[in-house]
Amino acid sequence: MVHPASRWFTDIHFIIAIAIGPCVWLLLRGLLQNTGSGAIDLQVLLYACLLYPVLEELAFRGFIQSVLLERQWAARRVVAGVSTANLLTSIAFALAHLLNQPPLWALSVFFPSLVFGYFRDRTGSVLPSVVLHCWYNAGFYLLVR
């Protein structure tokens, strides 16, 4: 753990992760079809941008990754600050998305999952992961609505 959980919002890595979101959304905008009417559905917005990210982060980073981090072999960093626990949790996260998404979309959540897990490892808290997940989902929702 590099930064205490109380200072994650001033961490330069976190600020960069927040800033990368809109860059990715702009890149995706050219690749994705706008599938919605353009209107914002408040219920969908709340589910996709608040409820699901909170529940997923509690389950995957709060439980699975935390349990794995208790094992010495899983706490080791594999590459670029990514722990084995984060890597395994991100694989499970992508596989879980296969239940309701096409394979390519399920695979696409693997990389953001690594980012969420990185901040779980870095801060010892799921709060930065929850905030990032909500932010990324909000941008994606607004992109395809």
Taking a C-beta distance cutoff of 8 angstroms, is the pair 93, 109 a contact?
yes
pLDDT lower than 50: segments of the chain: none
Per-residue pLDDT tens digits for 85-103 = 999 999 999 999 999 989 9
Distance CA(51)–CA(118), nearest Å, equals 21
C-beta separation of 126 from 58 below 8 A: yes
Helix (H/G/I), strand (E/B), else coil: 78:
strand
By C-alpha distance, which of 95, 91, 131 is closest to 111? 91
Nearest to 137 by CA among 35, 46, 42, 7: 46
Segments making up each domain of the chain, as ranges: 11-144
* Per-residue pLDDT tens over the stretch 114-124: 999 999 999 99
Q: Find how far residue 123's CA is from the centre of its chain.
A: 15
